[in-house]
Amino acid sequence: MGWQRRHILGLRDFTPEEYELVLKTTHTFQGVLARQNWKVPTLSGKIVVNLFFESSTRTRSSFELAAKGLSADVLNFDPGTSSLTKGETILDTARTYCAMGVAILIVRHREPGVPHLIAQDVDRRGVRVFNAGDGQHEHPTQGLLDLYTLCHALNPDAPHPSLLEGKKVVIVGDILHSRVARSNLWALQRCGAQVHLAGPATLVPKGFTELGATVHHRLDTALSGAHFVMALRIQQERIDQQLIPSLREYHRLFGLNHERLRLCAPSVKFLHPGPTNRDVEVTSELMDDPDFSLIDRQVTTGLALRMALLYLLGGGKP
């Protein structure tokens, strides 16, 4: 199968063939990253701009490293020192980079739909756009790196999406405000996993059942027999009402710890996309326990996955 997609804006309409190709290409780049010289020339002479209007550590840095690994020239836009502060619009900012000859824009914004708007505007110029997280909507590259991480945990030599068929994956936390939850939900369900969402009713509305997930308001019932558990951050910056009594109470009812993981399948692993509120979503002991935690692997995979996607969008051969 050849790669057809011009922009990566969300996973809702990703096909099984696309997931397979992305995982296969990511696996190849894991091999490239293990080499002493991990630079490849695919994007040589091309400009990639990290257009982040919202803060980030993992996504921005790994896109920068990935683009540099493919020999691109990388610019990191800083909204605080940009002409946005003088009233320039987001679209005029994107168009300014297009006029400089940019090939790929990586966009993060607190409002859903901004990467889509930019993609619509710059598409006719042949510029490619990645959604690096838009509000509560989607975070497709996080969903894809999580997918690879899960499949790699099941078979490190051949991480294929079909490995997730019938596996129980629990996502616990602030689902309501989470773009990671939505992207993971689309990806996991398309690959045949059973997705269970857990958290207080204020953060996990029953409406998520309409998207095919099973909703739980008690963590213990959700965790029973789970193969993977993904904790999500309590997004205090997006919560403008009193949706939980306190962080302490949240931790008591929904925080992950070693004891709670004993309810899961014996092989259970846990993930967190980060950033993490230690001892809120998960205890520090569990977070730092390499027997259970895939957090570091998620970050490492993020680099290979973003190299793979930049490679595919940049015209590299599947």
Contact positions toward ligand CP, by CB under 6 A? 56-59, 133, 139, 142, 273-275
Nearer Cβ to ligand CP (199/273): 273
Q: To 10 degrees, the CA torsion angle through 288, 293, 299, 300?
A: 100
Smallest separation (angstroms) from ligand CP to the CB of 136: 13
Q: Which is nearer to ligand CP, 10 or 273 (CB)?
A: 273
How far, in Å, CA of 69 to CA of 213, rounded?
A: 37
CB of 149 to ligand CP, least distance (A): 12
Phi first, then psi, for residue 284 (nearest 5°) are -60, -40
The distance of closest approach from Cβ of residue 57 to ligand CP in the complex, given in angstroms and rounded to an integer, is: 4
Using DSSP's 3-state secondary structure scheme, residue 293 falls into strand
279 C-beta neighbours (distance < 10 Å), count: 16
Among the listed residues 236, 233, 92, the one whose alpha carbon sits nearest the alpha carbon of residue 175: 233
Which token pair is 11?
A: 């996973």
Residue 90, SS3 per DSSP: helix
9 within 8 A of 116, measured Cβ to Cβ:
yes
Q: How far apart are CA 55 and CA 243, in angstroms?
A: 24
Nearer Cβ to ligand CP (42/59): 59
Q: Which two tokens stand for residue 309?
A: 């996607």
> Residue 55 burial (CB < 10 Å; 0-12/13-18/19+)?
exposed
Q: Indicate the length of the chain as a whole number.
A: 318
CB of 305 to ligand CP, least distance (A): 12
User: Shortest distance, CB of residue 318 to ligand CP, whole angstroms?
Assistant: 26
Q: Which is nearer to ligand CP, 140 or 199 (CB)?
A: 140
Q: Which is nearer to ligand CP, 30 or 59 (CB)?
A: 59
Nearer to ligand CP, 52 or 194 (CB): 52
Give the nearest distance from C-beta 56 to ligand CP in angstroms.
Answer: 3
Q: 95 or 110, CB closer to ligand CP?
A: 110
SS3 sequence of 108-157: EECCCCHHHHHHHHHHHHCCEEEEEEECCCECHHHHHHHHHHHHHHHCCC
Q: Are 51 and 97 in contact (CB under 8 A)?
A: yes
Q: In terms of CB distance, is 139 or 152 closer to ligand CP?
A: 139
Dihedrals phi, psi of 120, to nearest 5 degrees: -60, -40
